[in-house]
A and B are shown apart, each in its own frame.
Chain A
């Protein structure tokens, strides 16, 4: 269980990005964070795995306050938290395999890893993960040679290599077209349901939120403005959504490919 208490982040330039946010994520949850661009979603997610140091507050995970960890302890905690990024954040000029093996760095001794030596078990695991995400054919290509959807699968595979207990996904489908968005989110849903992986994912489109989330929090200007269960979000109208999102709120099915996509969403 993850418990965020009174989390605040003020950037060096004085920007108040996250303002006294508290919420709880029970294990096995698919929590979706919604909010306008600039509302603090990325900052919140990055505070959890400490890519960003929170200014104030506690992040209690399995009884440990992540906000206070330093050095090796922090890294040990981090390797149990996978992260998927909007822009995939792959190392373009490394191969897919190397990108995926990067996920094992937290478990590998420094010297062998600097020489790109990974254990047989790690490499087998990498191939298993590649297969699970259906990209084993791409293993030896450079990451930049892949399409967006394939790159995000590599991103997920990298996170999976960490044997994560928690998965953070920062707008994982915002750079992808709607069909691919569903296929990527279905992978995450699969992990959530089969592996009982806790997922915290920020999303933009109401219908994606309704389709995949088990609970939702909404941010506006860094403040927590909405908290709802699966039921709440299913019943949410566009109007309510707009109070969080403002007039920008859209359904992914509004943006393109109406007919064909409607079915995917319905399914």
Chain B
């Protein structure tokens, strides 16, 4: 008999130890036992362990879904209620259970016969169950993805096109004023004198009474509107928003609101606007109520004066990008210097001479492999514990990782040196230094340069990531901006990272092409 799968290599042609119905019954009690007794031992084992782990995973997930419930049935009900995917999983597991029983029956019946059912279906079924459980564990939620992606679009679009944030204009506040009097004492202030070049407001009338609050019969508060005022603004900057503010007699300043809305007006091309407003209510100390007092109406306009300039965010991003490039550079620099000696110790062709050096070779190799297998991000966290936040921690982490990575690559370059040319140079009567310079160096320089540039490239990419945990550079800035929800600024950082990495990619490819 031929079986395709090694796992299910079964002893052929031996009759089952139990009759089919008993095999089915046993598998109903202990899944897989029936198969095992029907002389399909491996199949039984796979079924048993798969089923046990599936049930174990399910118990865990159910408890996690309904942590506050007690009792098997309650937990089951609550979990199904909270996460309907459990219906699906439960149904599959029940199907699986039934299938195992049927399978035990059939295996026992066919045992000793020439033909066995193929186990592919088992695998497909088990995979499906594990896949669904994985879906639940991973909290995969496509609905959330598609329904929430819309809400995230404004933020994403700011990240994608952040350049409005890259420039700013120096700003200045322009203010046009008018003075009003309350209550009218028969001698209202004159309309505002027109000014040259500076904005001003003209209000009509120039005296009146503010809105007041009163208590209605049912106890609710009602506002009694004050004098209607017609406001005209002159000499404002054209087409730029003006906000109306008040300064009350107690000299506190507040925005004007008409029916709850902040009043904003846009002057026309001549810098003129006209708007009707109601004198607002303001709680004012009694002492101001006895006499005639002045209120001041302000038209405030923030205008850009002068030319655009680069924003602080842009400057900061550039500074930090440069810092990042240098973190990567310093890390590469120290990485090269320190990895060269290690690379010689990790080159088998140099070290296999005697058992002692071979021991060093294995030791160095092992240490380099361990260091290399731990992510720089984790080294950064360790470095931060030692030297604190900042670029130095980032450099330390990257240096360590670079030593390991370059040490391995360099040592492989050394291992692949062709002894022929060295022999030939020696044969000309060259001394040791000359032999190294003419026989060895030309062979290892190209791979060294290539690996070094590759590493520099990686280090700069990595230093952006390492910044995320506090290792300095633009990554640090990026996390800060993201936490402050300043997506435009974050977008600038992302763009800089992308541009730098792209340039570097191009450069390193170009340089490597020359050398290799």
Contact = CB atoms under 8 A, between A and B. Distances in A.
A80 B443 CA distance: 26
A102 B429 contact: no
A83 B429 CA distance: 11
Contact of A162 (B429, B433, B442): B429
Interface stretch (A26-34, A87-95, A127-135, A219-227): A87-95
A121 interface: no
A149 to B, nearest CB: 18
A93 B442 contact: yes
B434 A79 contact: no
Among B424, B426, B442, find the residue whose CB has the most chain A CB atoms closer than 10 A.
B424
A102 B438 contact: yes
B443 A91 contact: yes
A106 B433 CA distance: 12
A19 B438 CA distance: 34
B421 A106 contact: no
B425 interface: yes
Contacts of B424: 83, 85, 89-90, 102, 155, 158
B438 A89 contact: no
B512 to A, nearest CB: 14
Contact of B426 (A51, A93, A104, A158): A51
Contacts of A159: 428
Interface in B419-440: 420-421, 423-431, 433-434, 437-439
A6 interface: no
Contacts of A91: 421, 425, 438-439, 442-443
B446 interface: yes
Interface string B162-183: 0000000000000000000000
A94 B438 contact: yes
B485 to A, nearest CB: 54
A78 interface: yes
B421 A92 contact: yes
Contacts of B443: 91-93
Contacts of A85: 420, 423-424
Interface string A159-173: 101100000000000
A93 B423 CA distance: 16
Interface in A69-117: 75-83, 85, 87-94, 98, 102-108, 110, 113-114
Given A110-B433, A113-B437, A83 B427 contact: yes
Contacts of A88: 420
Interface in A205-219: none
A221 to B, nearest CB: 24
A166 to B, nearest CB: 12
Contact of B429 (A75, A89, A93): A75
B438 A105 contact: yes
A49 interface: yes
B427 A78 contact: yes
Contacts of A76: 429
Given A85-B424, A105-B425, A113-B437, A93 B446 contact: yes
A90 B418 CA distance: 10
A83 B439 CA distance: 15
Contacts of B446: 93
Interface string B436-454: 0111001101100000000
Interface extent on B, as a size class?
20 to 34
B432 to A, nearest CB: 9
Contact of B428 (A79, A87, A93, A94): A79
A89 B442 contact: no
A145 B424 CA distance: 19
Interface string B200-213: 00000000000000
Given A89-B423, A93-B443, A102-B438, A110 B428 contact: no
A132 B235 CA distance: 93
Contacts of B428: 78-79, 82, 102-106, 158-159, 161-162
Contacts of A90: 421, 424
Given A94-B438, A94-B442, A102-B438, A89 B421 contact: yes
Contacts of B433: 110, 114
Given A93-B446, A94-B438, A114-B437, A106 B420 contact: no
A103 B423 CA distance: 12
Nearest to A142: B442
Nearest to B434: A105
Contacts of A82: 427-428
Contact of B431 (A75, A81, A83, A93): A75
A105 B431 CA distance: 8
Contacts of A104: 428
A75 to B, nearest CB: 4
A161 B428 CA distance: 9
Contacts of A92: 418, 421, 442-443
A51 B434 contact: no
A90 B430 CA distance: 15
A114 B434 CA distance: 6
Contacts of B445: 93
Nearest to A108: B434
Nearest to A83: B427
B439 A106 contact: no
A152 to B, nearest CB: 12
Given A91-B438, A93-B443, A93-B446, A79 B429 contact: yes
A87 B418 CA distance: 11
A162 B428 CA distance: 7
B430 A75 contact: yes
Given A94-B438, A102-B438, A89 B430 contact: no
A78 B429 contact: yes
Q: Give the one of B425, B443, B445 with max A CB within 10 A.
A: B425
Given A83-B424, A90-B424, A98-B438, 11 more contacts: A76-B429, A77-B429, A79-B429, A89-B421, A89-B424, A90-B421, A91-B443, A93-B442, A93-B446, A105-B431, A158-B428
Sort A-B residue pairs by CB-CB distance and give the 3 closest, nearest first: A106-B429, A79-B429, A89-B420
Interface of A: 49, 51, 75-83, 85, 87-94, 98, 102-108, 110, 113-114, 155, 158-159, 161-162
8 contacts: A78-B426, A81-B427, A83-B427, A89-B420, A107-B429, A110-B433, A158-B424, A158-B428
